[in-house]
Structure 1
Amino acid sequence: MPDDVRAAPSAAVARLATQLGVEAGALRYYGSREKTRTDHLRLVAKRLGWRAAEDDGRAGWKALREFLVDGVTG
């Protein structure tokens, strides 16, 4: 999510609003409280099973590097 939802393309905001079942205008001030965005990012990461590379030490950084390289070349 961009820092300022108002700067996001209107089509993207409209699509997100539709997916969330809210009016696009309701997203105008999303994230104006910084902790809201941080909390939501943590919830999404937990739901998707994501974790910080440094949580796994050297192996985590290696896995991230391989993921990024495979994503670019694969």
Structure 2
Amino acid sequence: MLSPFTYICFLLLKYSEVIDYKNVYLLRKFITIQGKIIPRNINKLSSKQHRFIMKAVKKSRIIGILPFVNKELL
């Protein structure tokens, strides 16, 4: 039985997918409307998973899959 103070990661509960730079639908859940990456304390991610998310978002932005800025706000 888990203690009430056990940290359960949000990503493992909700998304059992692999963090990949080509998975745009998963990465958009961790980006705000302005295009900023949501902080890890709000997402309830571990530091390792947040690092993977950040690297995947940056890589997909450089390749051109994700936009740097949302065009609807401009």
TM-score over 0.5 (shorter chain): no
TM-score between both structures, scaled by the size of structure 2: 0.26
Name the structure with the higher helix share. Answer: 1
Structure (1 or 2) with the larger CA radius of gyration: 1
Report which structure shows greater RCO (CA 8 Å, sep ≥6).
2
